[in-house]
Amino acid sequence: MEKEAILISIFVLACLLFLHSYLSTKEVKVEFVPSVKEALPSKGNVVRMKIPAVDNEGNGVMTTLVVEAVEGKGRVLTDINHLLFFIDTQNSIQIAKNVAERITGINTSKIDLIYQIETNASVIGGPSAGAALTIATIAALQNKSLNEKVSITGTINLDGTIGVVGGIEEKARAVKEEGMEIFLVPKGQGVQITYTPKRECRKIGPILYCTTEYLPKKVDVSESVGITVKEVSNVEEALKYFMG
């Protein structure tokens, strides 16, 4: 048992050293704080945004993204109590911050950005929240409110384009159940392709031979779920729905 404890301690230390080395190479340093509230130097602009995700059982769920912009030192802060904020999400936050700065033209060298997603870490992947992180960051920097009837899913790229994600239909159902009216998805994902198995069998002599063919079927998410789905290719297009 003592040997196992030593090995576990060595493994944890190695992970921490790797994380420190990884973060030190990034243009934007993400600092961890025990509690978001303890990091607030003053009251700032707070933006809350409902976004969809898919849980471990493949069900669509809704969670709340919170972004706050306060007077500070240009730091990017996350709540360590939410294990969601690991490597992939940190990368999405860094890109979201860079894109938001470019679109708004706001210098964040004296602004701290604080991020929190109110959910269990297993529910949502960092990359799929990229577009939402960017929209919420822009709203926080500009002190603007977002249309609460609109939600979005999609990754974010450095040029502001929105990339594809999975679980579109499941997320759309969660958005509809939340009472929202418009669901923004990456370009080309408003129509999903599903595959239906078709089995045919024939008997040759005493042996029965069976084959299965998977037939593609296009499904319009707007029609199948019953919610307005709009495709957007970049952040600028998405902003028209949230702030237009």
For strands 155-156 and 162-163, give the pairing: antiparallel
8 Å CB contact between 137 and 67: yes
Q: What is the pLDDT of residues 144-199, one digit of tens each?
A: 999 999 999 999 999 999 999 999 999 999 999 999 999 999 999 999 887 888 89
Asked if 157 contacts 35 with a C-beta cutoff of 8 angstroms, the reply is no
Q: Which residue has the higher pLDDT, 225 or 88?
A: 225
Give CA torsion, residues 150, 151, 155, 157, to 10 deg. Answer: 20
| pLDDT given at position 55 | 82
At residue 215 the predicted structure's pLDDT band, cuts being 50, 70 and 90, is confident
* pLDDT above 60 for 59: yes
CA distances from 88 to 9, 24, 97, 121, 135 (A): 24, 15, 14, 12, 18
pLDDT at 32: 43
DSSP state, 234?
Answer: B
Nearest residue to 93 (alpha-carbon basis) of 80, 106, 76, 109: 76
- Work out the pLDDT band at 233, boundaries 50, 70, 90: very high
Residue range 101-110, pLDDT digits in tens: 999 999 999 9
Which residues are known catalytic residues?
Answer: 128, 171
Instruction: Write down all domains in the chain, each with its CATH number in brackets.
Output: 22-190+221-243 (3.30.230.10)
Using the structure block, give the residue that is written with the tokens 């709540």: 79
The overall pTM is greater than 0.85: no
For residues 175 and 7, what is the distance between their CA atoms, to the nearest angstrom? 45
4-19 residue pLDDT tens: 555 555 555 555 555 5
